[in-house]
């Protein structure tokens, strides 16, 4: 349901998915987080910005893990990665005294 809300541009509170309750998440969410965890991070070496996960090899990872609904899991992985990217990049930006934003890598 949360994915459908996200796809319809409705604000979703992902904090509702508490890590302690991961055992009761739907199987697709568990698979998506599992696949996402195996993907490598993509960082910009100059600015220190996080670009998200490298998606190359994701099909191989899903095949090895035995993911049946690969299209749905891919959608979830992209949503997870987008949320994570926004949070990482938001934390890396710190305001300076002149009101400008300075990025720390």
At residue 102, what are phi and psi to the nearest 5 degrees?
-110, 135
Q: How far is CA 30 from CA 8, 25, 93, in A?
A: 23, 7, 30
Non-local (6+) Cβ contacts of 78 within 8 A are none
* Total-model pTM: 0.63
Domain range annotation of the chain: 27-64
pLDDT digits (tens, 9 = 90+) for 11-40: 666 665 555 555 556 888 889 999 999 999
């Amino acid at each position: 349901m949360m994915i459908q809300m996200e796809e319809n541009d409705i604000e979703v509170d992902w904090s509702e998915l508490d890590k302690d309750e991961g055992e009761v998440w739907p199987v697709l969410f568990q698979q998506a987080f599992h696949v996402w965890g195996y993907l490598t991070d993509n960082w910009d070496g100059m600015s220190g910005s996080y670009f998200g996960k490298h998606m190359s090899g994701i099909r191989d990872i899903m095949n090895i893990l035995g993911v049946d609904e690969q299209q749905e899991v891919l959608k979830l992985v992209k949503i997870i990665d987008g949320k994570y990217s926004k949070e990482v990049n938001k934390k890396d930006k710190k305001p300076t005294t002149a009101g400008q934003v300075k990025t720390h890598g």
